[in-house]
Structure 1
Amino acid sequence: MCASTHWLASATAQSVLERGGNAFDAATAGAFVLHVAEPHLNGPGGDLVAVFATAEDTSPLVLAGQGHAPRGATIEHFRAEGLDHVPGSGALAAAVPGAVDSWLWLLAEHGTWELADVLAYAIHYAEHGIPVVPQLARVLATVEDLFRTHWPTSYALWMPGGQVPRPDATLVNPDYAQTLRRLCTEGAGETRTARIESARRAWRTGFVAAAVAEFATTPHRHSSGGDHAGVITAADFTDFVPSTEPAVTAEFRGITVAKAGLWTQGPVLLQALAMLDHFGDERIDPSTAEGIHTITEALKLAMADREAFYGDRDPADAEDVVRRLLSPEYSRERADLIGTVASAEFRPGDIGVTPYMPPLVTEQHDVRVEGVGEPTVRHTGDTRGDTCHIDVVDRWGNIISATPSGGWLQSSPAVPGLGFALGTRLQMTWLDPAAPSRLAPGRRPRTTLTPTLLLRDGRPVAALGTPGGDKQDQWQLLYLVRTLAFGMDPQEAIDAPAFHTTAVVSSFWPRTWTPGGLVIEERADGAVIDELRGRGHDVTVAGPWSQGRLSAVTRDPDSGVLRAAANSRGAQGYAAGR
């Protein structure tokens, strides 16, 4: 079974499974197709977080495909450039790309297919074209002036013939097809693993690293309004090494929930579940005003802790902080703070560690909220990128939940000849030495990417996730409450009306927050919305099918029965299997 945010990726993954590949072959092939099919939501210059388990070892592992800050990315350098935030677009905000090398590592270690066979799908779509979904067309129309005036390489790549592609047009990317073909060609060796390792070297120390480093030194327009050069070098590429680490886990209603650590926002979901576990089902029903209120207030408290304590800490320190945040005593203390009215305060807790208090900047101008899962386009023309997701489980029990992101076509100018742009994950760091998610060379930015694996009695039973930046764990929390506490099936839980709080410090430039903010789909009951406003929530009613892009696969380890579900919002997500 497989499910993803785009039907071409799901079709690709299912094709690999049908032809005998395992879940890791299928996920890798599907992920490279996502580079081509959803270039406004992810790209080869971006990053990756995955949680997986193998049929032989069911212990959940995290694949840490989040690149670190380059050697030249110092607070002092950014300040000298006249910046008080890391920009939301432009190569100065680029972390070292981690997605491609991490996918290739996974393929080498746990896959079975040859590299050329895995990449053939993405090469085909890059050469022959993908259908332009309406959201992609809208993003391209928004950045047309920027590309034409300031980013000519992007204009040439994404607007062939000087025309913005219309919805349902066919868009090709021959440069990326050539990049992938060259990785296959340079992947020489006597064994499958050796050939993949050769391709990894071509990426990390060969033509890709060299081209990126040369181009990044050209000053270009950033979202700050100024022109800056990037600081990433070829040497920075060699510093990144994909790695795995044990997942962080917590229990909810008898199920183990596995997430990545404090260098992501993953423990937010675990903290919220730990708080909600202190309430009976009647207090956390997402179809009622009381349930929405309780869930929202728990998320506010967990998100405040995210800003106060999360970041790329050294392993021993991170383990200690997570232990404190997930302790039963602390979750009880935090749950007791949830009253009957909405809080508009920023309330990190006391875990014996000095909390970081970020600047709380409210939104000062109108924001035009676009369709879910797509970049938020502001009235200034700035865009914020989003993310993709893919889940795969195979007949043997291998299972993976992966959230690739970054390197959006609107993040920075396209690198000539490579067919992709660098990412902007450093925008999630603070130019403050006191911040746990501070900018520093070699440190990973605290990412919003947060896939999930579920286990019952130590055996994996589900993989799930969603795009959505700061909303990823919020929407996943709704799914888990609905399936684990209320018995909904996966598709029913995904389709149910969704909501999220905006009373969090945004991970994206310019790092604003909306005290008391709550966004809810208009399919929710009107009386529920009225009661939420009566409780003090600043409610924004969004479109009927506008919040969330969840997908999931499940496996019953006793019967071996597999299931999959995908998001119907936007008519892009797709689940497949047999």
Structure 2
Amino acid sequence: MSGFTTRPEIRGTFGVVSSTHWLASQAAMACLEKGGNAFDAAVTAGFVLQVVEPHLNGLGGDMPAIIWSEQEREMRVICGQGPAPAAANIEAYLALGLNLVPGSGQLAPCVPGAFDAWALMLRDYGTIGLDEALAPAIYYARHGYPAVPRIANTIATVRELFETEWKTSAAVYLPNGDLPKNGRLFRNPVLADTYEKLGNAAKQAPGSRESKVDAARKEYYQGFVAEAVDKFARTQEVMDSSGRRHKGFLTGQDMADWSATYETPLTYDYHGWTVAKCGPWSQGPVFLQTLALLKGFNLDAMAPTGPEFIHTVTEAMKLAFADREAWYGDPDFVNVPMAALLSDAYNSQRRGLIGEMASMEIRPGTPDGLNAKMASAKEGANRDATVGEPTVMSLDGQSNAKGVVRGDTCHVDVIDKAGNMVSATPSGGWLQSNPIIPELGFCLGSRAQMFWLDEGLPNSLTPKKRPRTTLTPSMALKDGKPALAFGTPGGDQQDQWSLQFFLKHVHAGENLQAAIDSPAFHTEHFPSSFYPRPSKPGHLGLEGRYPASTLDALKARGHKVAVGDDWSEGRLCACGIEDAEDGRVLKAGANPRGMQGYAVGR
């Protein structure tokens, strides 16, 4: 399908990168140009993203990835989602008078997993040293990077909080008492020092390249980083989104006890494609469950901007997300009936629930005859709030919690000339989640807010359990061959926007850039994954570029239509491989929304 796109679909043969920030994309491409592979390039980009998108991720955050190794000829998941601290249990939160984990502050962090996940990828699949992978991030942190407008906008929403409560954050993000200036150079020299110490730990360690990377991993999780995290959590009472100050549960021992791991991805076969996602400790299987439901519809006959496509996909997503609430959790702790949830028999029965009108109920299924226990409604959980992303806090003049401020996520995809592929979705540890730890120049995350404090749920809080994260990279094979690496920021919307991109590419024949540019939609029908857990039954949010006839038809079907700005839905990245008789072509596209994402290649 041809037509106008905001930028070209990048095509080449040497390598392609797409990420949510142009500096990360260029740093990754520079790594490829110097002889690095896709894994080297992705790790390099990942550290740059921590510097240049501090409102979206950080060195104290999380990072799941899916990789394809051309040498191994298989896809693997790298789980960089750290677990809850050993001291974090439901009783401990209830004793503090809380019925939800706060969306910010010292009670919200899990073990920071991003660094170990990136380092594990570099150790086992890369070719360069950790100090080389860190060099661009160190440069930007020390010498400055042009601050995008959203950094200053984000800091402005929490400025009073920083000035009155989180003063270590004010010292970094309000230099001389002022907001970072849009487009002007912004620096974080203490963060640069932290990266340098980690890089030097690797560089100075004896032995192989692999053992040098392991030395830096030990320095982060058992050395000076862990010591600073432990001290901060024990000694600092931090104002959080509950409106009160608390110390933390996370300890240096929690960090020493954990490391990133490899897993086999979950997959589903759909129209000649094999889509891979992370397991049910993420929301990734929602994508696969929705495909299993949609397999029974003729999407080839539906226009992507038409009401039939939007209604059918939305109703299928509602059913899949209901099962997310009912069944998903860390499979190391709970039995998730994943095989039944993806089975033809189960989805044939569930498909019959999709009717002509919009559903208003949350309807989990009964896989293997099991009955779901659902979370109870929480006070304030259905109040009007900015949802779909991790949330943090702003303050009024009396230092009371008065609202939530949206956080977000990053993404990077890389494919090299050998055909190695990476899809990674780093997030968490952004500047709004927690105060800066002054010795480190970065803050901890807030992923524990995704746990429920109800007993007996798949995603109930348990010590050392992974929260059911929304972070969800995607990869796909076509006829058994590596073909796509893609993903998006967006909290609960990630597997909605990624799914639409994939369906438009598969069924409407849109190229990567056209499928990214295409108008998108989402629903907030189900409970949000984030504090204060609101839901909007029947909600359907759409970009303003849809035809009026489509909006009218959706309203007639009972959808509670909310029309947003023309370019407001989705922040996708994508890279692909196209094999033909005349040779292999690598391709990439990036999101124009927000004017940050960039694809590059040659």
Give TM class, smaller chain.
Answer: over 0.9
Give the aligned CA root-mean-square deviation in angstroms: 1.7
One-letter amino acid of the structure 2 residue matched with residue 308 of structure 1? A
Cα distance in 1 between the residues matched to 2:158 and 2:325: 31
State the alpha-carbon separation in 2 of the partners of residues 366 and 459 from structure 1.
45
User: Is it true that 1:28 corresponds to 2:43 in the alignment?
Assistant: yes
Q: Which residue of 1 aligns with 2:253?
A: 235
CA displacement 1:296-321 (0-9 Å, x = unmatched): 00000000000000000238934xx1
Map residues 76-91 of structure 1 onto 2, 5 A cutoff. 76-91=91-106
| Residue pair 1:284, 1:292 contacting (<8 A) in 2 also | no
SS for the counterpart of 2:484 is: strand
Distance 1:561 1:490, change over 3 A: same
Q: Which residue of 1 aligns with 2:218?
A: 201
Rounded to whole Å, the distance in 2 between the matches of 1:36 and 1:67 is 21
TM-score normalised to structure 1 length: 0.97
| 8 Å Cα contact 2:572/2:591 also seen in 1 | yes
Counterpart contact for 2:76–2:265, Cα < 8 Å: yes
Please say if residues 259 and 453 of structure 1, whose CA atoms lie closer than 8 Å, have aligned partners that are also in contact. yes
Pairwise CA distance, 1:125: 0.3
Q: Does the 8 Å CA contact 1:283/1:294 hold for their aligned counterparts?
A: no
The correspondence for 2:68, drawn from 30, 34, 53, is 53
Per the TM alignment, residue 166 of structure 1 is displaced from its structure 2 partner at its CA by: 2.8
CA distance in 1, matches of 2:304, 2:221: 46
Q: Which whole-Å CA distance do the structure 2 matches of 1:374 and 1:432 have between them? A: 20
Distance in 1 of aligned mates of 2:471 and 2:277:
10
Whether the 8 Å CA contact 2:575–2:588 is kept in 1: the answer is yes
Partner residue in 1 for 2:463? 441
Bigger shift: 275-284 or 50-59?
275-284
Q: Within 5 Å, give how 1:513-552 maps onto structure 2.
A: 513-552=535-574
Q: Secondary structure at the match of 2:345?
A: helix
Does residue 260 of structure 1 match 2:278? yes
For residues 232 and 508 of structure 2, the distance between their equivalents in structure 1, rounded to whole angstroms, comes to: 53
Distance 1:378 1:346, change over 3 A: farther
Q: Is the 8 A contact 1:69 1:444 kept in 2?
A: yes
User: Structure 1 residues 346-355 or 280-289, which shifts more?
Assistant: 280-289
1:277-331 superposed Cα distances (whole Å, 9 cap, x missing partner): 100125654311111011000000000000000000238934xx11000000111
Q: Which residue pairs with 1:190 in the alignment?
A: 207
Partner of 2:313: 295
> Which moves more between the two structures, 418-427 or 355-364?
355-364
Contact 2:389 2:530 in 1 (8 A): no
Equivalent residue in structure 1 for 2:358, among 342, 351, 362: 342
- Alignment of structure 1 residues 1-80 onto 2, 5 Å: 1-80=16-95
1:249 to 267, 276, 283: 267
Structure 1: how far apart are the matches of 2:600 and 2:389?
20
Alpha-carbon contact 1:58-1:459 (below 8 Å) kept: no
Letter in 1 for 2:601: G
Quote the residue 2:181 is aligned against.
166
Q: Note the 1:89-238 alignment, pairs <5 A.
A: 89-187=104-202, 188-217=205-234, 218-238=236-256
Shift of 1:130: 1.6
SS at match of 2:426: strand
Secondary structure, counterpart of 2:563 in structure 1:
strand
Matched, 1:306 2:306: no
CA-to-aligned-CA distance 1:426-465 (integer Å, 9 cap, x gap):
0000011211011111100000011111102322111000
Q: Given the superposition, is the C-alpha separation of residues 248 and 451 from structure 1 closer, same or farther in structure 2, using an over 3 Å criterion?
A: same
Any idea what SS the aligned residue of 2:107 has?
A: helix
- Structure 1 unaligned regions, length at least 5: none
Which segment is superposed worse, 347-356 or 559-568? 347-356
Tell me, yes or no, if the aligned pair for 1:2 and 1:393 is still in contact at 8 Å: yes
**Aligned partner of 1:568 among 592, 595, 598:** 592
Q: 5 Å matches for 1:315-334?
A: 317-318=335-336, 321-334=337-350
Task: List per-residue Cα deviations over 1:50-109 (Å, max 9, x = no partner).
Answer: 011101122211101100001111111111111100000002110000000110111011
| 1:334-382 deviation digits (Å, cap 9, x = unpaired) | 111100110110100111223121234686554468xx98979889342
Structure 1 residues 24 and 479, CA gap change in structure 2 (3 angstroms)? same
**What letter matches 1:181 in structure 2?**
E
What is residue 476 of structure 2 aligned with on the other side? Answer: 454
Identity between Structure 1 and Structure 2 (%): 48
Distance 2:299 2:484 in 1: 22
User: One-letter code of the match for 1:306?
Assistant: R
Do the aligned partners of 1:360 and 1:505 also contact (CA within 8 Å) in 2?
no
Q: Is the 8 A contact 1:66 1:97 kept in 2?
A: yes
Partner of 1:464: 486
Distance 1:149 1:283 in 2: 57
CA distance in 2, matches of 1:29, 1:123: 11
1:406 corresponds, among 420, 424, 428, to 428
CA distance in 2, matches of 1:500, 1:363: 20
Distance 1:232 1:262, change over 3 A: same
The answer to whether the 8 A contact 2:18-2:414 is kept is yes
Distance 1:547 1:192 in 2: 42
CA 1:348 to 1:368, structure 2 compared with 1: closer, same or farther past 3 Å?
closer
Q: Label 1:112 to 1:251 Cα distance change in 2 as closer, same or farther (>3 A).
A: same
Select between 377-386 and 352-361 the one with higher mean Cα deviation: 377-386
1-structure distance, mates of 2:601, 2:333:
39
AA at the equivalent of 2:177: G
